[in-house]
Amino acid sequence: MLQVKPLLRKVIGVSLFTAIGFTAMGFGHAPQADAATKADKIISTGKKYLGVKYRFGAPSGVTYAFDCSSFTQYIFKKNGVSLPRASYAQAAKGKKISKSQLKKGDLVFFSRPGKSGIGHVSVYAGNNKLLHAAGKYVKVSNLSSSYWKSHYITARRVI
């Protein structure tokens, strides 16, 4: 006659050992670690374009000039994340998060002077820094500057 308890113990033991082994070998994955790695890759991709000229309405997919949303769309797409072209449309993607919850790779949205609503998008690069196409070129700015603090609207997590 079959003994159920010892067999059950064996099945559970083998299953647990297999799960631990696969995780240690890299077959299991942690979603947070994957998101952090993807965020670092997106930021690294974006930093390759530091100094590239800003041009409002720059076409999608080109690298000789960017506007804010063509820049975010391009660097996210290069890393497997599809975003719409316009900043206001990007602001409807992913999960809304508070400023205090910002993590690398989050999209951060701002108004433009004298206008209401979303008018600018950047990528949170960690340490209170924004990576974006703004002014005359692609650059890193400080989120704590009076300008960005006063124009902040929202942030979204898309990875």
In the chain the domains, ranked by start, together with CATH numbers, are: 30-157 (3.90.1720.10)
Collect all residues with Cβ–Cβ distance below 8 Å to 86 and sequence separation of at least 6: 69
pLDDT, position 9: 58
pLDDT, position 49: 98
Q: What is the DSSP string of 26-71?
A: TSS--HHHHHHHHHHHHHHHHHTTTTPEE-TTPPTT-SSEE-HHHH
Distance of CA 42 to the CA centre of its chain: 7
- Tens of pLDDT, residue by residue over 55-80, are 999 999 999 999 999 999 999 999 99
Token pair belonging to 22: 């696969």
pLDDT, position 30: 61
Catalytic residue numbers read 68, 120, 132
| Sites in the chain below the pLDDT cut of 70 | 1-31
Rounded to whole angstroms, the Cα distance separating 12 from 83 reads 43
Sign for the pseudo-dihedral over CA of 55, 59, 65, 71: positive
Rounded to whole angstroms, the Cα distance separating 134 from 96 reads 23
